[in-house]
């Protein structure tokens, strides 16, 4: 196990992501962006980003949570575990809204693809932008992050694990 990001670095990255998102949003007072976190660690990161964006933009930034379980393409894999379906909680209209889709790690692009499919089933957003804490190489779909905190190259046999204090008692990113 190797720690690649500690709590201080994660905090710095989150602030940088907020700066990048805020700079990319034109006329946020008329049509502020909305944050959609992918369960479960994207949800935590999304909540942190939304809280800081409210302070930075000076307006309400709606925040929701998206469960992508039923949109995943690996549910029928032989020997796969039973999937736990949880709720999607988006308490606002996504139509004609700039959505910032948030996940902890971008690797193959499959989770992002599933999330976009789920969002399109809920409405027609103006645009979807992707923000991730860690982006690693190994894409299987032509998906890229618009806002990436930390980029890393790893062999396929290595895994990136993100821990947040809200769910794990510690903020860190490790490679196993």
Any idea which fold 32-72+85-153 has?
A: Rossmann fold (3.40.50)
pLDDT at 77: 61
Domain boundaries along the sequence of the chain: 32-72+85-153
- Residue 85: pLDDT over 90: no
For residue range 109-151, list pLDDT tens digits in order.
Answer: 999 999 999 999 999 999 999 999 999 999 999 999 999 999 9
What is the SS3 assignment for 101? strand
* pLDDT for the residue 84: 79
Are 122 and 94 in contact by the 8 Å Cβ rule? The answer is yes
**Global pTM value:** 0.93
Decide: 128 and 55 in contact? Cβ < 8 Å: no
């Amino acid at each position: 196990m190797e720690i690649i990001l500690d709590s201080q670095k994660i905090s710095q990255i989150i602030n940088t992501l907020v700066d990048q998102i805020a700079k990319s949003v034109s006329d946020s007072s008329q049509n502020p962006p909305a944050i959609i976190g992918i369960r479960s660690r994207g949800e935590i990161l999304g909540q942190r980003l939304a809280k800081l964006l409210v302070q930075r933009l000076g307006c309400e930034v709606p925040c929701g949570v998206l469960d992508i379980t039923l949109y995943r393409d690996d549910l029928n894999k032989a020997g796969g575990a039973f999937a736990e379906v949880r709720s999607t909680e988006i308490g606002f209209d996504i139509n004609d809204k700039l959505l910032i889709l948030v996940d902890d790690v971008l690797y193959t692009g499959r989770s992002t693809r599933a999330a976009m499919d789920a969002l399109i089933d809920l409405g027609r957003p103006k645009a979807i932008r992707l923000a991730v804490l860690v982006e690693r190489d190994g894409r299987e779909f032509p998906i890229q992050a618009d806002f990436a905190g930390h980029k890393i190259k790893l062999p396929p046999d290595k895994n990136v694990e993100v821990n947040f204090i809200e769910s794990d008692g510690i903020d860190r990113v490790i490679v196993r």
